[in-house]
Structure 1
Amino acid sequence: MKPASVLALASLLAVSCQSKKVQETHQQHPNVLFIAIDDLKPMLGCYGDSLIQTPNIDRLAQTGVVFTNAHCQQAVCGPSRASLLMGMRPDFSKIYDLKTFIRDKNPDITTLPQHFKNNGYSTAAVGKVFDVRSVDQHHDSLSWSEPYELLEGSNPIGEGWIYSKKRISTEAPDVADSITVDGKILMRGNELMQQLSRQSKPFFLAVGFHKPHLPFVAPKKYWDLYDRNDFKVHPFQEKPENAPGFAYQPGWEIRSLYEDVPKKGKIADGKQVELIHGYHACVSFIDQQVGLLLKQLDDLGLRENTIVVLWGDHGWHLGDHDMWCKHTNYEQSTRSPLIISYGSKFKGSNASPTEFVDIFPSLCDLSGVNTPAKLDGTSLLPIMSGEKEKVKDVAVSQFHRNGNLMGYAFRNERYRYVVWFKSKFKQEEIGPFGEDMIVAKELYDYKKDPLETRNLIDDSAYTSARKEMEQLSKDYFQKSVKLVQN
């Protein structure tokens, strides 16, 4: 055999061995594609919405497990993402606002992507994964093995307008997806996926999309998917009967930032319908970007050995209770989409209470990476495998008011119980949780009153349900105090 032929054969064998090594490495530990979507409520076809057009996310749901009763830990971007990515509840992470850096309060914390990096993964991110107001200029540099890029045009509250020079709440420009920031995030995400797929290590790739965050700006073709006449204002636009006034919020975000929305008073029905239309358009726009991201995964032959996690960082009020945006302990604010797909291994849906702090230990279990000892969540793998119907009795969310009130919401399969504590609220402390500090309670029945029209806490017909939920809350607080003491 000629020397050139020998060299060629040796080269071919070397490439074959390297390919086999990469394949074996990826078989040992699956990749993770971590898709974060800003302000996405579970208004998706796979969650039972018949009007929204989300074919790509719906197809993903058909290959995985849809958690239909999943809740964030605090319904605002920074604290929700910090809690999820640290695996810690806000009372332990001490991240309650949009200005506190996670490592100022938790200098020794190991984040979810950092933990995977420490366990042999290449980790990379593009778009909004952490909230930029919670981390350093490199999007928490310790979390990533590939340098994080803040794409031009990105900003802390989501990308704005294509043409408008005014601060308006909606825009429908006739442009290509590729000129939008989310279009650029998609393209960069696909580039990173290609790059990471060529490495010998498994990868953890986080892709964070900005929409449907306000302003509702999406290319015109996504607005054209819908007939505005099909949209109606929310049927219940009152405060819940007997609910404490401070539990409500008047839509600070939308009223203060956008000049085409009144600062006070009722938003006209026509404007409400326009906003609802805009939200739908933005969700369909992001659905298309998700579809292209998943197509890249398929084209690279990686789907079967990749865990795909898709989540929205919290819910969103679209006019219910005359509320817009998030920042509450109500259902439309805390309930969030969560879909986990791992090749063809798990399928179905589950309505038991689950939480975003459960994602960290779940990914560890699914990938074969050791689970850190101090995490506040519970792995969802027993649900996904069919071993258990549920792994916890309640999902817990919290939101504060006026600097001296903290409300905790406890959601099981049927009820939401909210207890409000009065204290000199400080980030350095947890609690107190004493009965003498309680200033208000709320109870809602989603079987008989899914729109939360009435606080049932004093209704004698719900005495048993109230006692059950109160006991679950007491168990939670007792466990929290013990964790702090230890």
Structure 2
Amino acid sequence: MTFRTAALGALVLLTTALAHATNHTRVLFIMADDLRPELGCYGSAAVTPHLDALARSGTLFRRAYCQQAVCNPSRSSMLTGLRPGTLGLYVNGTHFRELKPDVLTLPLWMKQHGYTTRCVGKIFHNWHTKEHGDPRSWSAPEFLHYANHGDDVPQVTGTLPPNFASLSGNLRQYGKVPLCECREVPDEAYYDGRVAAEAVRVLGEVKDQPFFLAVGFWKPHAPFNAPKKYWDLYQRDKLPAYNPARPAAAPEIAFHQSTEILGPVENQKQPTAEQAAEMRHGYYAGISYLDAQLGKVIAALEHHGLRDSTLIVFSGDHGYHIGEHGLWAKTTNFELDARVPLIIAPPKAKQAGTSTDALVEMLDLFPTVTALCGLPDAPGMEGVSLVPVLKDPKSTVKEAAYTQHPRPPYPDRSPRAKPEVMGVSVRTPTLRYTEWRDFESGSVVASELYDHSREDPEMNNTVAHPVSAVALEQARQLLYRQFPPQQR
């Protein structure tokens, strides 16, 4: 072979590779931690200009629901397209591959179909062991996927600036840091600033390839420690009021003891009104901090000229309580924990700037992403593609969305741990119906019904006196379709 022939052959291969990369829809998959739909584009007081802009370029889902309101089960379900019950996974401390060693994940399926797959930040929930990312899903080692929220100590050069958040200082310490922390430090002092910086770097590295880049931000999860400039976006006394009352007639099993925020029950101090206000302020600050980091990543995408060839998906892993119902954090089946923000912005979206009230579930993301990228359907998916809704925001793809959560809310961390009671919940367009079932016998120990056609829907459990017995029975039958009652 002559040098000229070899050179021409190499040029053809390079041209083919570049065309292959150009023709692929790239994917930027961004996830937030403990973020309920508290964004400006959802009508919230939160300052989120970058997410609001993203919503204007795609479709905002107003009724998106997680499958279990705690990190590991929710993320594992979302990224495998399987329900927690199918995975047998209800706890944070068990890696999904301990239970299903060969299960497909969304990034693995993308990798098997020619994509470079990269992970920056918290995507799979595996902080409990350094080795337990999911190496087979990624084309290169993960970055900052392993950490503990309580270890997010600000990293600065020189003397650490003072903490202007002090009211919650005597409530409890959150790992190695205060529960609330407000310091004049750069964004990169905390995890999410470094996640954004690495995501920008990785984009430069993979920009000429078909890529699936997953960027997992750690905020607004506690501790509430965004840099001070994000706290300064809000006046604490102007933040929306909240109702700490429990829903009337709600069963005790529907609640939990908020130990993630308030600490062990035996040492708990109930927050004063001022302390609660500071934590709520910190939660909003964390949202704005997250938004700013996301903005850096999307700006880098635009800098490389990739925005018009990239599918952007943004979601939370589950919702959150910041004092409502007397609860802090997650692990319930209430709407505030089950509902999540979801924005899908396909390249050159024809329905840009729209929103939809279609009921959707987070396990629908796997088949949606693959469909938008023109890939074959992965086998065994329990979710459905949301492409019909992206084409017509008034359309629907399912009658109901389902969430479940065990009691105790944090069962034993062993791989085969079983809860004592499982709460299974169905959300229809107008109702949320929940049954709490003994995990062994299936007997119903409590039930709830909330009317979401009301202005303040989850403040009165009406299951004993429903407005419509027919509507209740319809919701019950929808619940039984997904979670059949055991034979007694």
TM bin, normalised by shorter chain, reads 0.7 to 0.9
Q: State the AA in 1 paired with 2:33.
A: D
Q: Secondary structure at the match of 1:194?
A: helix
1:356 aligned partner = 362
**Which residue does the alignment assign to 2:413?**
none
Secondary structure in 1 aligned to 2:219? Answer: coil
Whole-Å separation in 1 of the counterparts to 2:430 and 2:21: 41
- Does residue 90 of structure 1 match 2:84? yes
Check conservation: 1:138, 1:148, Cα contact below 8 A.
Answer: no
Distance 1:388 1:378 in 2: 17
Which residue of structure 2 aligns with residue 240 of structure 1?
247
Asked if residue 442 in structure 1 is aligned to residue 434 in structure 2, the reply is: no
Q: 1:150 aligns with which of 144, 147, 150?
A: 144
Aligned to 1:427: none
With 345-354 and 301-310 compared, the bigger mean Cα shift is at 345-354
Q: 2:402 aligns with which of 385, 396, 406?
A: 396
Contact persistence 2:89–2:96 (CA under 8 A): yes
CA–CA separation in structure 1 for the residues paired with 2:322 and 2:31: 20
Mapped contact 1:65–1:384 kept (Cα < 8 A): yes
Whole-angstrom CA distance in 2 between matches of 1:351 and 1:183: 33
What amino acid maps onto 2:479 in structure 1?
S
1:16-415 map, 5 Å: 21-49=16-44, 51-133=45-127, 137=131, 139-150=133-144, 155-157=147-149, 159-162=151-154, 167-199=177-209, 202-234=210-242, 236-256=243-263, 263-264=267-268, 266-345=270-349, 346-347=351-352, 348-386=354-392, 389-402=395-408, 403-415=419-431
Q: CA-to-partner distance for each residue in 1:111-132, whole Å, 9 max, x for gaps?
A: 1100100111010101100001
Q: Deviations over 1:245-265 (max 9, x none)?
A: 0111121100117xxx99446
CA distance 1:473–1:451, change in 2 (3 Å) = closer
Deviations 1:156-180, CA, capped at 9 Å, x for gaps: 3365332579642111110111222
CA pair 414-443 structure 1, distance change in 2 beyond 3 A: same
How far is the alpha carbon of 1:213 from its aligned partner?
A: 0.8
- Is residue 18–residue 208 contact of structure 2 (8 Å, CA) maintained in 1? no
- Distance across 1 between alignment mates of 2:299 and 2:480: 47
Is the contact between residue 426 and residue 434 of structure 2 (CA under 8 Å) also seen in structure 1?
yes
- 2:433 corresponds in structure 1 to 417
- The code of the aligned residue for 2:20 comes to T
Distance 1:395 1:78, change over 3 A: same
CA contact (8 A) 2:81 2:366 kept: yes
Q: Tell me the CA shift for residue 237 of structure 1.
A: 1.4
CA 1:470–1:161: 2 relative to 1, 3 Å = same
The code of the aligned residue for 1:85 comes to L
Distance 1:460 1:89, change over 3 A: closer
When residues 17 and 288 of structure 1 are mapped into structure 2, their CA distance, relative to the original with a 3 A threshold, is: farther
Matched-pair identity in %: 37
Report the residue type matching 2:97 in the other structure.
Answer: R
Deviations 1:126-147 (A, max 9, x none): 1100001478715111100112
Structure 1 residues 220 and 460: alpha-carbon distance in aligned structure 2, compared to 1, 3 A threshold = closer
Distance in 2 between the 1:262 and 1:290 partners?
39
Cα distance in 1 between the residues matched to 2:314 and 2:402: 20
Q: Distance in 1 between matches of 2:70 and 2:220?
A: 14
Change in Cα spacing, 1:85 to 1:339, as seen in structure 2 (3 Å) is same
Give distance in 1, aligned partners of 2:306 and 2:381.
29
Q: Distance in 2 between matches of 1:358 and 1:263?
A: 41
1:155, distance to aligned residue in structure 2 (A): 1.6
Structure 1 segments unaligned to the other structure (5+ residues): 1-5, 425-431, 482-486
Contact 1:138/1:149 (8 A) holds in 2:
no
**Which whole-Å deviations, capped at 9, do the CAs of 1:15-71 have from their partners, x for residues lacking one?**
98677545532343201101011111100011111x210000000010011111001
For 1:298, give the aligned amino acid: E
Q: How many residues align?
A: 453
1:219-276 Cα deviation digits (max 9, x unpaired): 1111111111212541x2122111110111121100117xxx9944642111111011
Alignment correspondent of 1:459 = 465
Distance 1:95 1:135 in 2: 17
Are the counterparts in 2 of residues 63 and 341 from structure 1 also a CA contact under 8 Å? Answer: yes
1:410-458 deviations in whole A, cap 9, x for unaligned?
112221111111133xxxxxxx65xxx1121111012215351110111
Q: Give the counterpart letter for 2:37 in structure 1.
A: P
State the one-letter code of the partner of 1:326.
K
C-alpha distance in structure 2 between counterparts of 1:230 and 1:447, whole Å: 28
Residue 468 to residue 124, structure 1, CA distance change in 2 (3 Å)? same
Task: Determine the C-alpha separation between the residues in 1 that align with 2:256 and 2:109.
Answer: 37
Q: Which moved more, 1:469-478 or 1:306-315?
A: 469-478
Q: Tell me the amino acid that sits aligned with residue 215 of structure 2.
A: V
Query: In 2, Cα distance between the equivalents of 1:250 and 1:328?
Result: 11
Q: Select between 131-140 and 119-128 the one with higher mean Cα deviation.
A: 131-140
What SS does the corresponding residue of 1:468 show, helix, strand or coil?
helix
Match in the other structure for 1:429: none
Task: Report how far residue 459 of structure 1 moved.
Answer: 1.3
Give the conservation status (yes or no) of the 8 Å contact 2:358–2:394: no
Q: Does the Cα contact within 8 Å between 1:124 and 1:148 map onto a contact in 2?
A: yes
Q: Which amino acid aligns with 1:416?
A: R
CA distance in 1, matches of 2:335, 2:36: 10
Alpha-carbon distance in structure 1 between the residues aligned to 2:189 and 2:227: 10
